Amino acid sequence: MAARARGWRTSDQPQPLLAFVLNSPAILLLLVMVLYPILYSAWLSLHQYNLRRPRAVEFIGLGNYIEIFSTPQFWNAARITLVFSIGSIGTTVLLGTLLALLLNERFPGRSVLRAIALIPWAIPPVVNGLVWQWLFEGQNGLINHILLSVGVIDSYQAWLAHPTTALPALVIAQVWNHVPFVAIVMLAALQTIPGELYDAARVDGANVFQRFWYVTFPWLSHSLLLVLITQTMVALRTFDIVYVLTGGGPGDSTTVIAWLTYVTTFSFTDFGKGNAYAYIIALVTMTLSIFYIRMLWKRGDMSK
């Protein structure tokens, strides 16, 4: 019996066939639902293909891409995406890290705050958009009431209908939704810092800021980088709250690249160009993912 147990042990003999059989449902599903669409999308992006003219499908090589890069529409969306991403990622990561540092301290009510902090994360993005739609509302919105009563504004503003305030409003809604996730990840990283490091620093006479800068911050830097990359991917895909809050407007002041892809494909039924947009987003994301995976690899999480 002991011999049989030894033979069974995981590290003893390779079992590629059993592994393949057990993985096959997952592989099959991902082949059909992910790999095939990716290839199909690439193929379509090289065609002129509008659903309204199904017979006029024509291979045009990189024509869609050339057209995209030569229209101001794309560059405008790229600029808006960049502004939106920098604004939302910067704020989310800053607030999320502050929240994590706070939750790592001892104070009355910590467990309440920790439970509350999960709420925005659990709220579906569409509902998030609806809530902020109501908060930013022009006639009865709570934000107008508050800002007017403290004297920041002297009359009610239609925040979402004005080109200069619609994008910041979008950023705020996005930040609210994603701060909890960043806080959870950063808190987990904070809790792995050995207490001895702080004791050693204190013995060396480091004050609270020096302790943060020389102990906490280097320890967090890796998680911080991971969070930055995942949040960038999140920002590039932002679609739901644009749909609910602004619909890309007013004008095209909140037309981020994901929204432009959606509108091009499903409103103008231009599937060739839509797929080309989708591919551009994917290439940017892929570049980021390579960094992401390499970082995980370096840290040794993958090797075991």
Binding residues among 3-32 for another protein as defined by CB under 8 A = 4-5, 8-16, 18-20, 22-23, 25-26, 29-30, 32
Binding residues among 239-258 for another protein as defined by CB under 8 A = 239-240, 243-244, 258
Min dist CB 182 to another protein, Å, is: 9
- The answer to whether 189 and 219 have CB atoms below 8 angstroms apart is yes
Q: Select 11 or 164, whichever has its Cβ closest to another protein.
A: 11
Q: Under the criterion CB under 8 A, does residue 122 sit at the interface with another protein?
A: yes
Q: Under the criterion CB under 8 A, does residue 125 sit at the interface with another protein?
A: yes
Q: Under the criterion CB under 8 A, does residue 135 sit at the interface with another protein?
A: yes
Report DSSP letters for the chain, one per residue.
Answer: -HHHHHHHSTTTS--HHHHHHHHHHHHHHHIIIIIHHHHHHHHHHTEE-BTTSTT--EE-TTHHHHHHHTSHHHHHHHHHHHHHHHHHHHHHHHHHHHHHHHHTS--TTHHHHHHHTTHHHHS-HHHHHHHHHHHT-TTT-HHHHHHHHTTS-SS---GGGSHHHHHHHHHHHHHHHHHHHHHHHHHHHHTTS-HHHHHHHHHTT--HHHHIIIIIHHHHHHHHHHHHHHHHHHHHH--HHHHHHTTT-STTTT--HHHHHHIIIIIS-BHHHHHHHHHHHHHHHHHHHHHHHHHHHHHTTTT-
Min dist CB 280 to another protein, Å, is: 9
Q: Under the criterion CB under 8 A, does residue 168 sit at the interface with another protein?
A: no
Q: Under the criterion CB under 8 A, does residue 262 sit at the interface with another protein?
A: yes
Q: Select 45 or 167, whichever has its Cβ closest to another protein.
A: 45
Q: Under the criterion CB under 8 A, does residue 196 sit at the interface with another protein?
A: no
Q: Under the criterion CB under 8 A, does residue 37 sit at the interface with another protein?
A: yes
Q: Figure out which of the listed residues 169, 170, 236, 263 binds another protein, where binding follows CB under 8 A.
A: 236
Residue 75-114 contact track with another protein, rule CB under 8 A, x = bound: --------------------x--xx--x--xxxxxx-xx-
Specify the stretch interacting with another protein by CB under 8 A; choose among 70-78, 83-91, 212-220, 259-267. 259-267
Q: Select 106 or 164, whichever has its Cβ closest to another protein.
A: 106
Binding residues among 270-299 for another protein as defined by CB under 8 A = 271, 274-275, 278-279, 281-282, 285-286, 288-289, 292-293, 296
Cβ neighbours for 132, distance < 8 A, ≥ 6 positions apart: 169, 172, 173, 176, 241, 245
Q: Select 167 or 173, whichever has its Cβ closest to another protein.
A: 173
Beta bridge partners of 59: 47
Q: Figure out which of the listed residues 55, 149, 209, 267 binds another protein, where binding follows CB under 8 A.
A: 149
- Phi, psi at residue 102, to the nearest 5°? -65, -45
Min dist CB 24 to another protein, Å, is: 9
Q: Under the criterion CB under 8 A, does residue 145 sit at the interface with another protein?
A: yes
